Amino acid sequence: MRWLLIVTTLIVAFLLKYLFRRQHNNVCKTFEDYYTNRDTNPNCYNNPDVDLTIPEIVINRGYPLETHRVTTDDNYILTIFRINHGKENITGAKKTVLIVHGFGLNCGCFVTIGNKSLAFVLADNGYDVWLGNYRATIFSSHKYLNKADDLFWSFTLNEYVDYDMKNMINFVYNATNRKIVFIGYSLSTAMFFTYSSKHVQHSLEKINVNVALAPVFNIREWKSVFSYIPWNTLTKYIGTAVADYKVMNSYPLIQKYLCLPYPFQLKTCMLFYNLLEGWSNKQLDPETLPVSVIHNVDATSFKVVHHLMQLFRGNDGQWYDYGTKQNLEIYGTRKPIKTNLSNMKIPTYLLSANNDAISTPLNVELLYKNLTNAVKYKHVVEDDDFSHADFFRGKDVFLLVYQHIIKFLEDFK
Ligand SMILES: *[C@@H]1O[C@H](CO)[C@@H](O)[C@H](O)[C@H]1NC(C)=O
Ligand SMILES: *[C@@H]1O[C@H](CO)[C@@H](O)[C@H](O)[C@H]1NC(C)=O
Ligand SMILES: *[C@@H]1O[C@H](CO)[C@@H](O)[C@H](O)[C@H]1NC(C)=O
Ligand SMILES: *[C@@H]1O[C@H](CO)[C@@H](O)[C@H](O)[C@H]1NC(C)=O
Ligand SMILES: *[C@@H]1O[C@H](CO)[C@@H](O)[C@H](O)[C@H]1NC(C)=O
């Protein structure tokens, strides 16, 4: 018995040491290089961002970082980071930009691909950059509750819109006294469209222009394999079991050990993203993917996921369906209210990609058409392999997307 224990322990220890052996070099020029002995491969080097936190990444790259706390009207405390000028260019920023992340992410997605990262590109081009974070990300807390309380996790997309979005915009506007350039990615584009359709006056006072990366609003035409799931049935079924659970609360480490150590793991891991977001790995960047895999995943609530499921089957712009009884109390109608995009009046620039299985060309077309009262512009990425996640981690995202944003903002008056 004792021998068995000792032998097992030795085997486990050996496996752990072998599986998770630590090499000094953690990124390479190609994925082939990545799976060699990186410490002796001249194409590999140490990317310090792998081991740093998000604020450390910003500071380590030589940017000024301010940390602000915003208390929402329903008592969540959100962190907004500010990079108020570039590394060299400290001559008074020209415009305030607020960038907000997508589903299951945090603001890390805008600083984790080195000097190509959106936040750094904007700061270096003279913008005062603010990075928002929704409730329940690692950068958030609550005035009275803590993350172990079920109630902390009791929120839907309604709260992202009415509190997080509105309160963050309020805060940044108040702090800089300048109209904001809003840049949203994926889910945040929908949150912004919803916010500016409902809080019309508020948005007109505080927002200069809206830049939507991989815009989603009409998701009925998505092409992802996941679109074949019978969401209506599933949602009804789940409806009876909805509770205040947390989702993806400790995924970063899981992703690290699940996706990185071996080539087959990276492939299977990316297979998941391919199925969900679009079929291509051409834009995966071996020099930064280890950083994105570790940093670009964060928590949300089960009710947010449930809300998304309600939207997946064509209920575009619908607020959370609480069930007839609660809907009557909250909305005054048996069915949840729907966002009317015609109310939205903020000038909008849509940037989308043809290989994006979520923000598909057809979905973007519907959205564009429905923005009947806003001045609108659009750009389709000139690379037919470009997909959903490439908007924050694509190898060529600077050339294909961010450059166009800079140009657009220079021309936009
Ligand atoms: C990032 O740095 C590399 C190497 O110094 C340089 O070639 C490249 O142009 C830079 N990219 C951006 C977007 O600044
Ligand atoms: C520095 O900022 C100013 C104004 O904010 C801008 O006009 C200029 O182009 C910027 N320079 C560089 C090198 O980015
Ligand atoms: C607006 O900013 C001022 C200081 O700049 C501060 O005193 C005030 O509390 C802020 N108001 C809000 C609503 O954040
Ligand atoms: C948006 O467009 C779709 C398809 O054309 C239409 O069914 C829907 O009612 C529109 N939504 C709004 C809010 O105008
Ligand atoms: C949306 O609002 C516009 C006016 O802003 C109105 O003409 C239109 O009928 C509304 N659409 C729906 C579906 O309620």
Q: What are phi and psi of 45, to 5 degrees?
A: -155, 180
Looking at 117, 140, 141, 186, which residue is catalytic?
A: 186
Give the contacts of 7 (CB within 8 A, at least 6 positions apart): none
Instruction: Please state, for a pLDDT cut of 90, what percent of the chain lies above it.
Output: 66
Looking at 356, 383, 390, 396, which residue is catalytic?
A: 356
pLDDT at 341: 96
pLDDT at 327: 95
Distances in whole angstroms, Cα of residue 95 to Cα of each of 29, 140, 209, 219, 341 = 35, 26, 11, 32, 26
Q: How far apart are CA 310 and CA 297, in angstroms?
A: 22
pLDDT at 228: 73
CA of 382 to the centre of ligand 1 (A): 21
CA of 174 to the centre of ligand 3 (A): 6
Residue 152 — very low, low, confident or very high, per pLDDT cuts 50/70/90? Answer: very high
pLDDT at 246: 77
Ligand minimally distant from the alpha carbon of residue 170: 3
- Nearest residue by C-alpha to atom 4 in ligand 5: 342
pLDDT at 229: 76
- Find out whether 405 and 211 touch, Cβ atoms under 8 Å: yes
What burial letters (b/e) apply to 387-401, b meaning 16+ CB within 10 Å?
bbbbbbbbbbbbebb
Ligand minimally distant from the alpha carbon of residue 342: 5
Residue 59: count other Cβ atoms within 10 Å of its Cβ: 14
Intra-chain end-to-end CA distance of the chain, in Å? 78
More confident residue, 325 or 274: 325
More confident residue, 132 or 292: 132
Which residue among 194, 339, 342 has the greatest number of ligand 5 atoms within 8 angstroms of its CB, and so is best to mutate?
342
Q: What is the mean pLDDT of the chain?
A: 89
Helices (H), 241-288: 251-259, 263-277
Question: 116 CB under 6 A from ligand 1?
Answer: yes
Q: Which residue, 318, 306, 100, 74, is CA-closest to 212?
A: 100
Q: How far apart are CA 110 and CA 119, in angstroms?
A: 6
pLDDT at 97: 97
Q: How far apart are CA 371 and CA 368, in angstroms?
A: 5
Is 197 an active-site residue? no
Which residue among 85, 87, 89 has the greatest number of ligand 2 atoms within 8 angstroms of its CB, and so is best to mutate?
89
Q: Given the CA of residue 127, which atom of ligand 2 is nearest to it?
A: 5
pLDDT value at 9 more than 90: no
More confident residue, 222 or 38: 38
> What's this model's pTM, rounded to 2 decimal places?
0.90
Q: Which residue, 90, 86, 94, 81, is CA-closest to 121?
A: 86
Question: 145 CB under 6 A from ligand 4?
Answer: no
Question: 59 CB under 6 A from ligand 4?
Answer: no
3-state secondary structure of 100: strand
pLDDT at 226: 72
Residue 240 — very low, low, confident or very high, per pLDDT cuts 50/70/90? Answer: low
Q: How far apart are CA 60 and CA 210, in angstroms?
A: 30
CA of 398 to the centre of ligand 1 (A): 10
For the record, the structure tokens of 198 come out as: 């409902």
Tokens 């991989």, residue?
214
For the ranges 65-74, 109-118, 286-295, the lowest mean pLDDT is seen at: 286-295
Q: How far apart are CA 324 and CA 326, in angstroms?
A: 6
* Per-residue pLDDT reduced to its tens digit, 347-380: 999 999 999 999 999 999 999 999 999 999 999 9
pLDDT value at 146 more than 80: yes
**Ligand 5: residues within 6 Å at CB?**
340, 342-343
For the record, the structure tokens of 394 come out as: 């694509």
Give the contacts of 288 (CB within 8 A, at least 6 positions apart): 27, 47, 49, 112, 113, 114, 393
Q: How far apart are CA 139 and CA 111, in angstroms?
A: 15
pLDDT at 20: 59
- Find out whether 207 and 178 touch, Cβ atoms under 8 Å: no
**What domains lie within the chain, and their CATH numbers?**
34-411 (3.40.50.1820)
* Per-residue pLDDT reduced to its tens digit, 245-287: 777 766 666 677 778 777 777 777 778 777 777 778 889 999 9
Q: How far apart are CA 275 and CA 324, in angstroms?
A: 34
Is 359 an active-site residue? no
pLDDT at 312: 81
pLDDT value at 107 more than 70: yes
pLDDT value at 90 more than 70: no
- Nearest residue by C-alpha to atom 13 in ligand 4: 340
- Nearest residue by C-alpha to atom 4 in ligand 3: 175
Give the contacts of 64 (CB within 8 A, at least 6 positions apart): 83, 84, 85
Looking at 85, 388, 390, 396, which residue is catalytic?
A: 388
Is 388 an active-site residue? yes
Residue 110 — very low, low, confident or very high, per pLDDT cuts 50/70/90? Answer: very high
Ligand minimally distant from the alpha carbon of residue 395: 1
* Per-residue pLDDT reduced to its tens digit, 12-70: 766 665 655 677 899 999 999 998 899 999 999 999 999 999 999 999 999 999 999 99
Question: 84 CB under 6 A from ligand 2?
Answer: no
Residue 338 — very low, low, confident or very high, per pLDDT cuts 50/70/90? Answer: very high
